[in-house]
Structure 1
Amino acid sequence: MPSQPPSTASKPLIAEALADYAARFTYDAIPTVVRDRAKHLMLDAIGIALASTRYDFAKRALAASTELGSGTSQVIGMDAQLALRDAILMNGVLIHGLDYDDTHARGVIHATASVLPTVMAVAADTRASGKDLLSAYVLGMEIATRLASVAKGGFHQVGFHPTGLIGAFSSALVTAKLQNQSAAQMAMAQGIALSMASGNLEFLQDGAWTKRLHPGWAGVAGVTAATYARHGFIGPRAVYEGRFGLYNSHLGERAQDCDLGLATADLGQVWELTQVAVKPLPACHFTHACADSAIALHERAEFDIAQIKRIRALVPAEVIGIVCEPVANKRRPQNSYDAQFSIPYAVASGLLRGRFGLAEQEADALKAADVLALAAKVDYEADPDSGFPRHYSGEVIVELNDGREFRHREAINRGAADRPLSNADIVNKFMENTALVVSAARAEQIRELILNVDSGVDALTFSRSLVARA
């Protein structure tokens, strides 16, 4: 049975506890190492956004956003000014559009993709300082990752995308924080966001583009909810634990598996932002371990690809429905988004090409007969030794016609919190992504701006400095 709201006499409701924490949150409370990592996560996201501007989905999204009206808020890497909420939506599309953005493993959420566009737009609008911008970003990351962790991966199992769903609540809180709202208003903002949060996984069936909208739309919902709360609009109080609160309404029977305590656990003491994984590959994080395993087998060059009889990919049972099924679609991806969520294609590309990057997701690469033939030989099984959700483990086992077998396992996916990309690695990734669209000198200028966001620059100048420029 769905859990019932706890007695308010014993402890505050989750929304109230989070609101109280947010109201008291300050820049000085953030450890230096957390601030530094936060700036590098921002750098990673903005580099991805800049790279996204060269793709068709970005151009179409901007055309739609421009048709909806203009404004004074900036779009990363593009020569456009939109209304505040439209800019948040557009920047979310850019950050999340290549599926190259960071992931909090336990929460299975791309938190930066909703928090950062919201913080950038609202901080600029309220004329906040760069310190305030960074502080709000860290706050949003701490809230989003905890709220997502409560579900223990359950949202994906019932067809909801936690990035869009949870992002609405963290975006509401950071908006309210930047607007200097009271704790009571912040709690109410979360209640209003409950009726706006969304994010559906049907795109997995055919490679539709809708997932790209989820983080930015979460930001739109959050800003809307917070602004309504600021004007006294009333929302429900038991936002998360209520009879029809977030977890009961969206998880049904799976709500009994939730750990509501994770929503507020160790706030201000343990920093979940440091557990955020930066992607080394531009694809769903669930494909990374198998892709890297296939690449490792390619580099070992111990067998002839032509002699492969069958390939077995071991993946966490919880992600099979996302990156392995329906198998016919996964073996023949129709577009880049299909490929980014395809274990068969990722493994085939890794084995044959030794790569699974942006170039391997271009239209011509997806049609390559040799890769598709190899993808047709990829089967999948639940990994009995999976570390999910802490680690997105994977293993590739190649069976040859002569009976020999070769295998490679990635028990901890590269980039995970226990095997992280360094800040230097993130800078290198940023420079590689930005090289697609801007000069090295311009990339270095942007890099220094982001890594020094809390050293005197104001939020409006920061946002204006990220628009398209020769």
Structure 2
Amino acid sequence: MMNKSSQESRVETISEQLSLFALNLKLEQIPISVCAQAKLHMLDAIGIGIASSHYDFAKNILHALMSLQESNDQHYQVLGVPNKLSMRDAILVNGTYIHGLDFDDTHAAGVIHASSSAMAALLSVGQRHNINGQDGLVAYLVAIEVASRIASAANGGFHEKGFHPTGLVGIFGATVLVGRIMKLTAGELTNALGISLSMASGVMEFLEGGAWTKRMHPGWAASSAVTACAMAKNGFIGPRNTFEGRYGLFNSHIDSSNLASLEKCTNGLGQIWEMQNISLKPYPACHYNHAFVDAAVTLRQENAFEIDDIKSIKARISEKQVPVVCEPQASKRIPKNSYEAQFSIHFVIATSLIKGKFTLNELENDTIFDPQILALCQKIEYEIDPKSAFPEFYSGEIEIQLKSGKSLIHREQMNRGSSANPLAKHEVLEKFYSNVERVMSHTAAKKFTEDFLNLEHEKSFINIMNQLKVN
């Protein structure tokens, strides 16, 4: 009979390998540069969550969950507001807030916003267990590494089937984060990942009509991860072949014509850091549109022409990105709300050319329904870009044909914010200050930033959360 130590050393399934990695990783094994980048991404997520708190979608989900509160377990903070909720409801709301403005970071190859579910889980579970900052940092990183690899292994197959990896896959990253904090055994965490498979969810139907459901995907993933870990800790059994099984994640969620690369789930764990392949967003729009913001602004700044001088515009983009931001063209040219606008290459280009920028202010109704912008949208077509670096980078090229016959072209091969064209630290901090200015003074925001960037030296996660309290 195999003894206990032999059983624990046996690694067969992807879930087992991910569980051992998540539970055994130590801070000293992580490069200092990776930790520094992780803290900026964590800070960025918190700032976006606070910025979201005053939008209608944020108020509506908060009111919905407040209406369901029945217990006295309302101790967990919601970003940007004074309200507190039970733990899982606070996680659901915070995950919705962090992802709600489509301003959160993106892992390019996996096309996943893993920080939104990871941070939503960490803020509340870290508070519940009052972990120290070092444990919080490592827990966040294991979530990012696991979710990014699983999403990448699908080779775009999740999107092609209409699934949203941020929700579908985010739960697995959140599960290893929560499992580590709850001190699950490797066997329990393997079970938790298996249980999470039956909770994993997130579909792309939000693209039709600008629905709000995408916003809640990471919150649902993170709150479900807590449930899965609690069940596993109390002996509930989940499947072991969560990812590679006959009805596992990949066989059930991608077409057989687009086979997954299962080795990507575990390749380089602890040596190659996917954290370094995650892009911070300079603009509050689908990441596929970012290169086109910079291309449009550059063309406007470097050339003398009036908007009325434009005859037509071509946007060159990868074929893989077309279904998300280019089609159906009729509705992309006339967005009905801010969410449709964020996922319209036509609107983003037209707005950036006319306004010379793309910020949260450009998602207000006076811009979305601006007749000049909508008229310019009608002049924009897209075509497939054979030079695109997708999925490593989200390339974009714009060609403007003027009525004079002159042609203006600008190309962004590596989108700003990507690993090859990263935002500077001061740009990340400026984004954070701008996002939190409604609820925090600049002095308070700067103090929080200084403390958070020394996260590994913080002794109490509750102290971190206390700095985010809103009266």
For normalisation by structure 1, the TM-score amounts to 0.95
1:252-267 maps to which residues of 2 (within 5 A)? Answer: 252-256=255-259, 258-267=260-269
CA distance in 2, matches of 1:375, 1:219: 37
CA drift of 1:453 comes to 2.1
CA drift of 1:457 comes to 3.3
SS at match of 2:169: helix
Aligned to 2:363: 361
In the alignment, structure 1 residue 116 sits paired with structure 2 residue 81: no
CA drift of 1:345 comes to 0.3
CA drift of 1:254 comes to 4.1
The answer on whether the counterparts of 1:93 and 1:213 sit within 8 Å (CA) in structure 2 is: yes
In the alignment, structure 1 residue 242 sits paired with structure 2 residue 269: no
**Cα RMSD (Å):** 1.5
Cα 1:149/1:369, change in 2 over 3 Å: same
CA drift of 1:230 comes to 0.6
Paired amino acid for 2:189 = M
The answer on whether the counterparts of 1:53 and 1:78 sit within 8 Å (CA) in structure 2 is: yes
Match of 1:174 among 177, 181, 186: 177
CA drift of 1:275 comes to 1.4
CA distance in 2, matches of 1:180, 1:465: 26
CA drift of 1:334 comes to 0.9
Aligned to 1:45: 45
Paired amino acid for 1:323 = V
The answer on whether the counterparts of 1:111 and 1:163 sit within 8 Å (CA) in structure 2 is: yes
SS at match of 1:253: coil
Aligned to 2:165: 162
1:40-439 maps to which residues of 2 (within 5 A)? Answer: 40-69=40-69, 71-256=74-259, 258-439=260-441
CA drift of 1:326 comes to 1.2
Q: Deviations over 1:154-190 (max 9, x none)?
A: 2111111000011111111111110111001111110
Q: Deviations over 1:390-442 (max 9, x none)?
A: 00000111112232211111011011111111222211211122224322112
Q: Deviations over 1:349-406 (max 9, x none)?
A: 1111111111111011111100100011111111111111000000111112232211
CA distance in 2, matches of 1:127, 1:383: 50
Aligned to 1:15: 15
The answer on whether the counterparts of 1:310 and 1:377 sit within 8 Å (CA) in structure 2 is: yes
CA drift of 1:28 comes to 2.4
The answer on whether the counterparts of 1:168 and 1:193 sit within 8 Å (CA) in structure 2 is: yes
The answer on whether the counterparts of 2:122 and 2:177 sit within 8 Å (CA) in structure 1 is: yes
For normalisation by structure 2, the TM-score amounts to 0.95
CA distance in 1, matches of 2:190, 2:132: 24
The answer on whether the counterparts of 1:62 and 1:90 sit within 8 Å (CA) in structure 2 is: yes
SS at match of 2:373: helix
SS at match of 1:311: strand
Higher mean displacement: 24-33 or 184-193: 24-33
CA distance in 1, matches of 2:383, 2:411: 14
CA distance in 1, matches of 2:291, 2:27: 36
The answer on whether the counterparts of 1:205 and 1:329 sit within 8 Å (CA) in structure 2 is: no
Paired amino acid for 2:41 = L
CA drift of 1:11 comes to 6.1
Q: Deviations over 1:288-322 (max 9, x none)?
A: 11121111111123323212111111111101000
The answer on whether the counterparts of 1:37 and 1:423 sit within 8 Å (CA) in structure 2 is: no
CA drift of 1:27 comes to 2.2
In the alignment, structure 1 residue 459 sits paired with structure 2 residue 448: no
CA drift of 1:73 comes to 1.2
The answer on whether the counterparts of 1:307 and 1:400 sit within 8 Å (CA) in structure 2 is: yes
SS at match of 2:312: strand
Aligned to 1:25: 25
Hey, which bits of structure 1, 4+ residues long, moved more than 6 A?
A: none
Paired amino acid for 1:29 = Q
Gaps of 5+ in 1: 1-9
The answer on whether the counterparts of 1:298 and 1:353 sit within 8 Å (CA) in structure 2 is: no
Q: Percent identity?
A: 44
The answer on whether the counterparts of 1:412 and 1:419 sit within 8 Å (CA) in structure 2 is: yes
CA distance in 1, matches of 2:190, 2:163: 24
CA distance in 2, matches of 1:230, 1:318: 41
SS at match of 1:252: coil
SS at match of 1:373: helix
The answer on whether the counterparts of 2:314 and 2:398 sit within 8 Å (CA) in structure 1 is: yes
The answer on whether the counterparts of 2:131 and 2:459 sit within 8 Å (CA) in structure 1 is: no
CA distance in 2, matches of 1:344, 1:388: 19
Gaps of 5+ in 2: 1-9
CA distance in 2, matches of 1:464, 1:225: 28
SS at match of 1:89: helix
SS at match of 2:393: coil
CA drift of 1:328 comes to 1.3
CA distance in 2, matches of 1:279, 1:228: 36
CA drift of 1:255 comes to 4.5
CA drift of 1:60 comes to 1.2
SS at match of 1:312: strand
Paired amino acid for 1:331 = R
